[in-house]
Structure 1
């Protein structure tokens, strides 16, 4: 009976967090739909407008280490509630922007709020409450659909009331939907028995070396560089490989479904392997995918195979990035480590698209693919080393 109640509690938490994350990621992704409207209205270059996304990731990354102590002291629920209070004024400021200064300031506020409410915050919350890797996998399975829900929503709203009105609607969603969900739908943090004595037996905590942490960071950042960068440049890369614009969009549009499918497969098997195993398989898949595109000579079949393998690898890596620390850290240390990893992860998310676009524009697709292959291969070697140095007894909560 107790396990049944616990299962219902976890499902309830997942529903609440999933709704909040779909709203959170969907609303901050509005520039993909209204970017040109914003550029015309504010008299800004389109590339400067899309730099708002980069500022968002930088602000999120810089805020993460600062929030680490708050996550440990107050718990993720309280931090997420506070972050929602911050997000609403960010959308209000965005809606009233008159030029670059106020526009970029709004994205700084939204990035700070994102650090408290999105991705890292939810991983910490689920580890506090559920303590299961599969809970994180289940959440990511749903949140992968944020753009599918909110791109058409943003398009409808912007047609009806303009991009400024859309931002005000999204500010209202923060206050009227997300805030009550987090305040009343999430349980308060309680200490779990398995938190005593982290990765080994009670009273025998596993000490993670600094070198291991740096290796986790390096492997995570390199994988993110490839997946974020390739995702942002995918259409242009496919054009450079010989596809027409229409064909490039058609092939590229398959990525979302494939990535969500990969997350689903990892979720179904999440109790049988850990995040490092997922990352090893996914990184290997990325290396093979890039290699096939390099030698494919523009063949449509080879490009389709690349899309399939890249989608599976990048989708699985999204889960692995969140769950690798569970292999090494207990509850409080997981919050600290995840917050510290978020800084370089978000910085690379902001930097990778312009770097890879520059390589593609100046040196061609082979330069981009070669550099991506180098990064993915280096990450694969680091992940292999991590797999050889797992703790002798894994935490119960990691499975």
Structure 2
């Protein structure tokens, strides 16, 4: 397919739909299923979130081979296979009665998500759309940003009507009947392997990477992303139980959760249009400040108050903006050379921390007997990321 041909919009629209469904069913849905599974199966929140954390670790393990297969022209088969595998694992999950089996299902789910989440979709676009990939990636990100808004209320209704097992079977049907079909028939077949440029095989200048690793600004930037990554991964899994514990009804909790997606998308729009009015460094400060403000506000919101929507909006906006900051700020801080290697060095500890976040929050809840300690920890991490980011700006001015 030519990057300028008529096919890109077909691919972009199809991947926008599949990412919306994949994130809604394979990531956000877990938060709604914790409570009914805990009641029916007797497994603790800690045990349930441990399996979810293992999926995150598993997805990191499969990310490199999945990316290599897509680079070699097998994107259609990788993403189609990922959706089929996800559907199969969802069916197994719907009938599970064994905790070891549940853990194995989620380890396998890590492989499936590595083949259908953002990284895989973006790699397919980069291979097939050329210069149009950036526009396609933006559209997919904005559409998929509504995954929680669409699927949390929808699955809430389905769980009420058909139970948690029935809702999982419905999710399996969506992954097989929509995602797998769109991947199979919308992603262009690329049987020929793309030409490998000699530059792709060139070794990276070690001296430049050593310079970056020796720069305290780099480690402060890693710290801000670790702290924000823990919050952004741990909170979605526990947010419904947190609000129920604080006295909100399930309907109110679902409504608040549904605000996160639009807030995230709106923040990305404003960030994109506001780059000329506010520098990336200013956007970074605003991101960390919004996150801290959200967790400063939450403990003072009484049960039943509409202010819970304000918390969800602030939290969602910070989540949307951190993605932009993480992707675009490093070239300003460390230069444009070795961008991929630097991003990899940032991503590695961040992914490890994110993988442990849902389990850690569940364990902290079990240890303290409430979510107060979790919220206090999130406030501390949000404030810590703000302080670290301010230090980044101060140190960057001196270099």
Fold match (TM-score > 0.5): yes
Quote the Cα distance in structure 1 between the aligned partners of 2:374 and 2:341. Answer: 43
Change in CA separation of 1:206 and 1:128 when aligned onto 2, cut-off 3 Å: farther
Change in CA separation of 1:348 and 1:222 when aligned onto 2, cut-off 3 Å: farther
Within-5 A mapping of 1:246-395? 249=253, 254-268=259-273, 278=280, 281-287=283-289, 290=292, 294=296, 298=300, 309-321=314-326, 328=336, 343-344=351-352, 346-350=354-358, 353-354=361-362, 368-379=378-389, 381-382=391-392
How far apart are residue 16 of structure 1 and its match? 0.8
How far apart are residue 263 of structure 1 and its match? 2.1
- The counterpart of 1:9, out of the listed 7, 10, 16, is 7
Task: Identify which range, 88-97 or 277-286, moves more after superposition.
Answer: 277-286
Change in CA separation of 1:119 and 1:237 when aligned onto 2, cut-off 3 Å: same
Whether contact under 8 Å (2:238, 2:358) holds in the other structure is: no
- The counterpart of 1:228, out of the listed 222, 228, 233, is 233
How far apart are residue 111 of structure 1 and its match? 1.6
Partner of 2:176: 175
How far apart are residue 141 of structure 1 and its match? 1.2
How far apart are residue 94 of structure 1 and its match? 0.8
Q: Deviations over 1:296-349 (max 9, x none)?
A: 994899998766544322211134445668995899979978986784364255
Task: Identify which range, 209-218 or 161-170, moves more after superposition.
Answer: 209-218
Task: Normalising by structure 2, report the TM-score.
Answer: 0.71
Quote the Cα distance in structure 1 between the aligned partners of 2:25 and 2:257. Answer: 22
Quote the Cα distance in structure 1 between the aligned partners of 2:272 and 2:149. Answer: 20
Change in CA separation of 1:36 and 1:385 when aligned onto 2, cut-off 3 Å: same
How far apart are residue 289 of structure 1 and its match? 5.2
Change in CA separation of 1:349 and 1:50 when aligned onto 2, cut-off 3 Å: closer
Task: Normalising by structure 1, report the TM-score.
Answer: 0.71
Quote the Cα distance in structure 2 between the aligned partners of 1:383 and 1:78. Answer: 44
Within-5 A mapping of 1:176-255? 176-188=177-189, 209=209, 212=212, 218-229=223-234, 245=248, 249=253, 254-255=259-260
Quote the Cα distance in structure 2 between the aligned partners of 1:225 and 1:95. Answer: 28
Partner of 2:31: 32
Partner SS state of residue 126, structure 2: helix
Partner of 2:148: 147
Quote the Cα distance in structure 1 between the aligned partners of 2:342 and 2:69. Answer: 13
Whether contact under 8 Å (1:55, 1:108) holds in the other structure is: yes
Change in CA separation of 1:41 and 1:364 when aligned onto 2, cut-off 3 Å: closer
Change in CA separation of 1:291 and 1:260 when aligned onto 2, cut-off 3 Å: closer
How far apart are residue 164 of structure 1 and its match? 2.8
Indicate whether 1:102 and 2:101 are aligned: yes
Whether contact under 8 Å (1:262, 1:315) holds in the other structure is: yes
Whether contact under 8 Å (2:153, 2:258) holds in the other structure is: no
Quote the Cα distance in structure 2 between the aligned partners of 1:15 and 1:378. Answer: 39
Partner SS state of residue 7, structure 2: helix
Q: Deviations over 1:119-170 (max 9, x none)?
A: 2212322333344444323212111211222233333444444433333333
Quote the Cα distance in structure 1 between the aligned partners of 2:194 and 2:88. Answer: 36
Aligned CA RMSD, in angstroms, stands at: 4.9
Aligned length, in residue pairs: 377
Whether contact under 8 Å (1:87, 1:113) holds in the other structure is: yes
